[in-house]
Copies of this chain bind each other. A is one copy, B any other.
Amino acid sequence: MHKVYVTMKMRRRQGNPFNFNDYPDTSMDTPLSPNMEDYMENISMLLKEHDVVRVKDIAKKLNIRMPSVTAALQKLKEKGLVDYEKYGHVQLTTKGKEVADSIYEKHSFLTEFFKEILSMNTQEAEEQACKLEHHLSSNASNRMQRFVEFYKQEQLDGQQWINRLDSVLEEKRLSELKEGQKAEIIRILGSGPLKKRLLEMGFRKGEIIHVLKYAPLKDPIEISIKDFLLSIRVEEAHSIIVKPLGSHD
């Protein structure tokens, strides 16, 4: 009866049910849940910093309470991934290290992907990597990793497309700018009367604009172009693509 129930659950979602990963070699037994993967990864990280890891440390790192950690450790111990005795310190088994490394590898290149390629700031890049790392199949993982390696080589080779990409990623809508920001106009979206009107107002490719006053949700936005003062509605500002000068995130 019990066994049957488990079998039913395994049916969920075709292909790789749950959000579990298929590890390269490791583990013929049930795959780790994203959650347990997270424990493994973080224990591994803590072990790199301090040589003694306690329940409290894990709880703090994961921002959860100690009893949750205890429960998790007991499960991970059963799976043979951690060395751990009641009230004792936590270590990873050989198998556990493999698992943790495999996850950490994903984490690393995902972080690089978001940070280096998509120009996101470190913190956000890390956060995204943490979320996605548990959901990448080994094939996708592999390809992603190759892609990141490829990108880095292209960067070393000084390939021009890298710069083109950076430019594209820096672009924003005028309506996304904050008060005080300066930006260069890249292009005006759409066509017809609206575009014409904007062009007539002086919004032309290459011009530098300066956002003087902008209270989000409150029309209009006040800006200056070459010493002219203008105010446009958020809706209009939405179809003006600009590249902020300075700033980063």
Contact = CB atoms under 8 A, between A and B. Distances in A.
Interface string A40-55: 0000000000000000
A143 B161 contact: no
Please list the 6 inter-chain residue pairs (A to B) with the smallest Cβ-Cβ separation, ordered nearest first.
A131-B135, A118-B143, A128-B140, A150-B168, A15-B127, A161-B161
A151 B146 CA distance: 17
Interface in A136-166: 136-137, 139-140, 143-144, 146-147, 149-150, 154, 159, 161, 164-165
Contact of A12 (B63, B144, B169): B63
Contacts of A136: 128, 131-132
A13 interface: yes
Instruction: Indicate the member of A15, A62, A164 with the most B CB atoms within 10 Å.
Output: A15
For the residues of A in contact with B, the DSSP-based class is: helix
B143 A137 contact: no
A36 to B, nearest CB: 15
Contacts of A56: none
